[in-house]
Amino acid sequence: MNWDIAEGNWRQFKGKVREQWGDLTDDSLDVIAGRREQLLGAIQETYGIAKDEAERQVRDFERAHDFH
């Protein structure tokens, strides 16, 4: 799985994102629409964390979901 695939199949994929970051709203998920940078920004804003922490979380998520 890579971000191009995630973007193309966002409706199915966003459930996995919701499981990981349950505080993200439906509106946030619609704005993210499978784009990695949008996800990073939404995580930072929603959880009040620094960019490097959001990056770490997304990298862990990518590893867990076999992104290439």
Q: What is the pLDDT of residue 68?
A: 58
Mean pLDDT for the stretch of residues 22-35: 94
Helix (H, G, I), strand (E, B) or coil at 43: helix
What is the CATH number assigned to the segment(s) 3-64?
A: 1.10.1470.10
Distance set, CA 8 to CA 12, 34, 46, 57, 64 (Å): 9, 7, 24, 22, 19
Mean pLDDT for the stretch of residues 26-35: 93
Of 3, 43, 40, 6, nearest in space to 21 by CA: 43
Q: What is the pLDDT of residue 43?
A: 98
Mean pLDDT for the stretch of residues 36-49: 97
User: Rounded CA gap, 35 and 11, in Å?
Assistant: 13
User: Rounded CA gap, 21 and 39, in Å?
Assistant: 10
Q: What mean pLDDT value characterizes the chain?
A: 91
Q: How confident is the model at residue 17 (pLDDT cuts 50, 70, 90)?
A: very high
Q: What is the pTM (predicted TM-score) of this model?
A: 0.87
